[in-house]
Structure 1
């Protein structure tokens, strides 16, 4: 069985400076949408915690300072910015260890951990009324040619990782779109290629998790989210690579049936063409008359005009094409979305069936029409991608999709966007259940904060995650003190 995961994402485009230049430490967004996040028995507020941190020798960036504002501005999504009481930037793993020990034993304030800062929603990697531990200064990558391993610090961004590795003629299967990559058909998700995690546990202990040491933790970290510690370094298997061949091709909306057919057939044959990757998304750009369809097609060996893409190639006319030979880094950069806007994301998975994909595109078109009529066509953009999860990932067969809404406005409009996007996702869910094409799996990297992707792993896997969390964090410190990210579901 082959699957398609449908991702629903709402982006709100709002200029960063309007919020970060405010005279108070918290923006309107955080004041109106989020509760206070501090320890349940706090005897001193988060500001006092920041004072204590400075007394202990940690540099704390405070609101309305240049350093603080610069880091808050670097979040991918405006929706993720929570305006913490202060930001602390460790430089090495030992700094993280010392920081966690201090926070856990000397304060009652909560904290968040920021790595790349790409999660669309808050409080995932930022926190209000608490301390954000920002790994942005831990952004170095080293390549060990003898072991063919890349050692990647926890605050690294993928483009910097690829740029560092490129001169060695290697890369790692990291993010193209959050864990799914150009090499997924042959090597799996990014997490499948991690051979060791250097991690700071809830008690501040610095340790490693790999196949031989803390093997249960090693397994749990591959998709277990923010429940076990702070990963300060990822050691990944490197892949020998040259230029890829691929790019983006754009078709008019009336090519929907042909593109769905091309994508569905590509997914069905993915196991036979492990050098290739493809996904298509229905894209409405604010102010446009209608959506267009953009398809990302790539061959990891650099082979032009691969037969697996023939059905795509036959769809005419094309509005544009960027097919070319280029590096892994260059291909990845082409897929970047602009940062600094509000985002709402949802994920859903369905069987690879053209009918349910067509239904999702119809819901996309209906969403565009209703928003333009009721809110305004210059306030949003909407993207509905269908992204294959190659057969080698889940017992050989899956595909993912998504929908992104991009809109301009404040937190009230973001709440309206989430309401409408939830209705969109639920409509596709109902139809997939009705037609027998539903798959009870929510891809964590695309899921919204209102979803429960860890539960979708299944009861046995959730029970395993609970056991590992109890072993490595017996006091439940991370559940209580680090509220961001997806937490392991409580027992029913």
Structure 2
């Protein structure tokens, strides 16, 4: 464990003053009595407004009492020490890239938001074959840095997604079929604990915490650096191919076969997207096809490339370029809901039937005229988990399933705040109907991918009882006063899962 003498000295006076901090305002004042004073910003400042405006979805742009913008792990340590010294009175949130779509996950109203977005550099360690990535980074910045060395890491498939939340929730990538989930490729976490101590968690040191962080999200501390294994050659063949909606059945049949055969060519990645655009009244299909080597038209994609398309951007490019293409526009209100199912063609058909019906309900009920309705189907074959097990395991609990799965994401975005209730109801209704049908045909699965989960879902509870107990045990060990359960209310908490 290492907490610098300088931080300890700075904290001593703060502790005495902060004990009496009982309001959000006095919590902010406590931070200002430390060396962090110049990094505490308020609603009337440009830095504050810029921070709030940088959250991806407009419906999550809450306004905390103040925002702290640290630049180093030592400054995060001092901030945590100061806020915890208030004897539980100071509530705070932790924000990385700010891409989560439900309000309160990574922000707060009456409290302090620790905004890590200024901690956003990536360093390539060629000798070790690793990249050291700070938690406020977005994947586009990571890929752009590593492209100079012709290496990459298995990370987000959209450049605007933040690093921290993605890795702590598991992380599905273009490379998952080859190397496991993104979290399986982290070799070291630098973590600030609830008492301000900074530790490294890896296979040799704090190995229990190392495993728990692979899917266990923010239940243990604040991660201030991720060291990830790199992959040589960042060139892929990929892009977006669009199709007329009349080809739906061909795509579902191709996708069903693709999932069952991915183990034969783990370089292949497919995301099937059914997308309705209200401004053009278009209901189209778009495939994100990525092959994680610079090989054009590999046989793994034959079933898809045989379908007549309306446009294609397929090319050899680096990861940075391809992930720019997959980013959705910011400035909208948004909801994600998700579930996983046994790879079953009838269930895939029902998924798109529901998608089409929800579009009609939106047309009938929406007050605004600018909205988009995505339904995404993605492979989750057993192959993904096999790689995780080989690399020491994580806490996602997918290893207890023997079937190949697919994942559905209902992603609705809209401009008009008056449509908040409508689109949340439509998303939840779509998922409920699909889940009910899956149970009726024996194709249901309990796993919920945390990075796509909505506030009314419980992804941690889908990890299985053994992993839940493991997360609880590790959380109690490293956060004995339950700071990250009580003082940090945002995110998915292990304390909220019934025992």
Relative to the length of structure 1, the TM-score reads 0.89
Q: Give the aligned partner of residue 68 of structure 1.
A: 48
* In structure 2, C-alpha distance between the alignment counterparts of 1:479 and 1:342, rounded to whole Å: 27
Q: Give the aligned partner of residue 28 of structure 1.
A: none
Q: For residue 151 of structure 1, give the secondary structure of its aligned residue in structure 2.
A: strand
Change (3 A) 1:277 1:334: same
Please say if residues 247 and 296 of structure 1, whose CA atoms lie closer than 8 Å, have aligned partners that are also in contact: yes
Please say if residues 92 and 113 of structure 2, whose CA atoms lie closer than 8 Å, have aligned partners that are also in contact: yes
Equivalent position to 1:274, from 223, 243, 266: 266
Q: Give the aligned partner of residue 89 of structure 1.
A: 69
Tell me whether 1:135 sits opposite 2:130 in the alignment. Answer: no
* Residue correspondence of structure 1 range 92-491 to structure 2 within 5 A: 92-106=72-86, 108-176=89-157, 178=166, 179-316=171-308, 318-376=309-367, 378-395=369-386, 397-410=404-417, 412-488=418-494, 489-491=496-498
* In structure 2, C-alpha distance between the alignment counterparts of 1:275 and 1:452, rounded to whole Å: 32
What are the superposed Cα offsets for residues 310-340 of structure 1, whole Å, 9 maximum, x if unpaired?
Answer: 1111112x11111111111101111001112
* In structure 1, C-alpha distance between the alignment counterparts of 2:116 and 2:212, rounded to whole Å: 22
Q: For residue 413 of structure 2, give the secondary structure of its aligned residue in structure 1.
A: strand
What are the superposed Cα offsets for residues 265-306 of structure 1, whole Å, 9 maximum, x if unpaired?
Answer: 111110111111011011001233341010011111111011
**Structure 1 stretch 374-383 or stretch 362-371: which is displaced more?**
374-383
* In structure 1, C-alpha distance between the alignment counterparts of 2:426 and 2:173, rounded to whole Å: 30
* In structure 2, C-alpha distance between the alignment counterparts of 1:386 and 1:118, rounded to whole Å: 20
Equivalent position to 1:45, from 7, 11, 23: 23
Please say if residues 344 and 448 of structure 1, whose CA atoms lie closer than 8 Å, have aligned partners that are also in contact: yes
Please say if residues 461 and 497 of structure 2, whose CA atoms lie closer than 8 Å, have aligned partners that are also in contact: no
* In structure 2, C-alpha distance between the alignment counterparts of 1:131 and 1:122, rounded to whole Å: 15
Q: For residue 144 of structure 2, give the secondary structure of its aligned residue in structure 1.
A: helix
Q: Give the aligned partner of residue 8 of structure 1.
A: none
* In structure 1, C-alpha distance between the alignment counterparts of 2:370 and 2:152, rounded to whole Å: 38
* In structure 2, C-alpha distance between the alignment counterparts of 1:300 and 1:427, rounded to whole Å: 35
* In structure 1, C-alpha distance between the alignment counterparts of 2:459 and 2:132, rounded to whole Å: 28
Deviation (angstroms), 1:371: 1.1
Please say if residues 124 and 484 of structure 1, whose CA atoms lie closer than 8 Å, have aligned partners that are also in contact: yes
Please say if residues 244 and 301 of structure 1, whose CA atoms lie closer than 8 Å, have aligned partners that are also in contact: yes
Deviation (angstroms), 1:377: 7.0
Please say if residues 270 and 391 of structure 1, whose CA atoms lie closer than 8 Å, have aligned partners that are also in contact: no
Please say if residues 371 and 377 of structure 1, whose CA atoms lie closer than 8 Å, have aligned partners that are also in contact: no
Structure 2 unaligned runs (5+)? 1-18, 159-165, 387-401
Q: Give the aligned partner of residue 54 of structure 1.
A: 32
Q: For residue 145 of structure 2, give the secondary structure of its aligned residue in structure 1.
A: helix
Please say if residues 248 and 297 of structure 1, whose CA atoms lie closer than 8 Å, have aligned partners that are also in contact: yes
* In structure 1, C-alpha distance between the alignment counterparts of 2:197 and 2:383, rounded to whole Å: 35
Change (3 A) 1:465 1:72: same
Count of residue pairs the alignment pairs up: 450
Q: Give the aligned partner of residue 3 of structure 1.
A: none
What are the superposed Cα offsets for residues 424-480 of structure 1, whole Å, 9 maximum, x if unpaired?
Answer: 110000000001111110000100011000000011110111111111111111111
More helix by share: 2
* In structure 2, C-alpha distance between the alignment counterparts of 1:382 and 1:76, rounded to whole Å: 17
Q: Give the aligned partner of residue 17 of structure 1.
A: none
Higher relative contact order (CA 8 A, sep 6+): 1
Q: For residue 402 of structure 1, give the secondary structure of its aligned residue in structure 2.
A: strand
* In structure 2, C-alpha distance between the alignment counterparts of 1:172 and 1:294, rounded to whole Å: 25
Deviation (angstroms), 1:398: 3.4
Deviation (angstroms), 1:193: 0.1
* In structure 2, C-alpha distance between the alignment counterparts of 1:43 and 1:67, rounded to whole Å: 25
Please say if residues 87 and 134 of structure 1, whose CA atoms lie closer than 8 Å, have aligned partners that are also in contact: yes
* In structure 1, C-alpha distance between the alignment counterparts of 2:473 and 2:237, rounded to whole Å: 44
* In structure 1, C-alpha distance between the alignment counterparts of 2:21 and 2:127, rounded to whole Å: 52
* In structure 1, C-alpha distance between the alignment counterparts of 2:279 and 2:123, rounded to whole Å: 45
* In structure 1, C-alpha distance between the alignment counterparts of 2:180 and 2:405, rounded to whole Å: 12
Structure 1 unaligned runs (5+)? 1-40
Q: For residue 213 of structure 1, give the secondary structure of its aligned residue in structure 2.
A: coil
* In structure 2, C-alpha distance between the alignment counterparts of 1:209 and 1:398, rounded to whole Å: 31
* In structure 2, C-alpha distance between the alignment counterparts of 1:487 and 1:417, rounded to whole Å: 26
Please say if residues 368 and 415 of structure 2, whose CA atoms lie closer than 8 Å, have aligned partners that are also in contact: no
Please say if residues 162 and 328 of structure 1, whose CA atoms lie closer than 8 Å, have aligned partners that are also in contact: yes
Please say if residues 287 and 377 of structure 1, whose CA atoms lie closer than 8 Å, have aligned partners that are also in contact: no
What are the superposed Cα offsets for residues 359-393 of structure 1, whole Å, 9 maximum, x if unpaired?
Answer: 01010100000110122572421000001124321
* In structure 2, C-alpha distance between the alignment counterparts of 1:424 and 1:226, rounded to whole Å: 29
Cα RMSD (Å): 1.6
